[in-house]
Structure 1
Amino acid sequence: MGVLAEPTTGRTAGKEAGRLVGKTALVTGGSRGIGRGIAERLGREGARVAVHYGSNGSAAEETVAAIEAAGGEAFAIGQELGVPGDAAALWKAFDTAVGGDGGIDILVNNAGITSPKPFGTLAEEEYDRVFAINTKAPFFLAQLGAERLRDGGRIINVSTGLSKAALMPELIAYSMSKAALDLFTRDLSKVLGPRRITVNAVAPGIVDTDINADWLRGDDKAWAGAAALSALGGVGSPAEIADVVAFLASDDARWVTGHWIDATGGSMV
């Protein structure tokens, strides 16, 4: 597969080049929360970023604008996940947007949903949707993306600390879906290793994002309880997770593959 020409990013003259200049990245669920933090971080490192969204196109365009304002290059791609043919449709949209050979260097499977229902009340359709988005979509995005991924590329899956500890048993289906993603990460690293493609999972703990806003923000007791889980005594931010992803996406992490990286702030200690 040929190599895309280095993108024109519009960076300010004299600005230090990032570690990912000339690379193309796709971040699923990149319009909000952790995904937005990752997309912006990769953009600051010089990557051309495809910001995927499921339904909130305006949020994706805001992320694109933020990346461009910082001197990077980005574009938005809309495609609902968890439906038949989702991976193929997303890659088709990606190919159309990038043109050329449609090559990619970094795939970040970040999009995911939770289903905070007790074991006894979780409906079958809810269970299926959690696995369709959190586990099935990353599998087929990687499968169909492998032919586009350049040798020496990166696949980074966003997991959770809950796949290692039962801290929130009401999220049992979510935790199960991410545990399956962890095993996928491990085994895929062996499949793609001969091409020097690394595959790793990053596991956040409790992070201050919109998905946690209802129970976390504005409730001092809830915030203190969440912070107490961390050995560092705080609640995570999207930027702190994005920094770990940026490391794994860079050449500095070329000898790290098949790993589950604890980014919970020490909640698993």
Structure 2
Amino acid sequence: MQFLIVRKADHDSEAGVMPSRELLEAMGEYIDTLAAEGRLLAGEGLKPSSAGVRVTFGPGRKAITVDGPFAETKELVAGFSIIEAASMEDAVAWVKGWPAEDAHGQAEIDIRPIGCPGGLSGFGNPSEEESPKPRYMVMLKANERSETDWNPGPEQLGRMSEANRAGHEAGFLIAGHGLSSSRHAKRVTFGKGKPTVLDGPFAEIKEMVAGFWVLRVDGIDDVIAWAETFPFPDGDDARLEIRELWRMEDLIPA
């Protein structure tokens, strides 16, 4: 099974504070075993919401954008990993070992099973690779309908599949995955480094993520233009958040 591990934002991540050498070393040691086993499929950090936008749609599917920063700091995404685990219990066990050097021992992590409720296949790899172009994560925000594990039906799923295929073959749409509702999720919070596990569903529906895509393009305007044409399951009612991913060279200066 694949799981999306979401590191929630905090004051430091929203302020753009760079990770310390101690944190980088601790995270490196933490993920080494999983990576050596081939079960770490991705690990990415997002730039602060001050560099992001939120998108809704007006007449003619014209994007209406609101620039960050956004106020709901604790519900924003600061980073994510995609891992392979035998079960949710195994994923939780791994997250319980999250380095205490992160977030001063107060990190908050959501664990979400990857998989579109309608059965649409995920694809791609969001990793940086050797490209000078920036990468952007497009998060489709959840709503009451998506939180019921709503299936939009074969016609809509077919349009989405074709759009995913076309973007992926064109080389700019490098990854995309659907998520089951938060009722299947777990949340791990840390107090003085000690984990507490909470069961979903969670109340913050408007800030939950129902699915995501990663694009490698020249700039955020290209992402917005793509969003104006993509057949999201909620159509013109879709709500999106677009955030740029950090490059490794930004996080680890020479």
TM-score by length of 1: 0.30
TM-score by length of 2: 0.31
Relative contact order higher in (CA < 8 Å, ≥ 6 apart): 2
Q: Which has the higher strand share?
A: 2
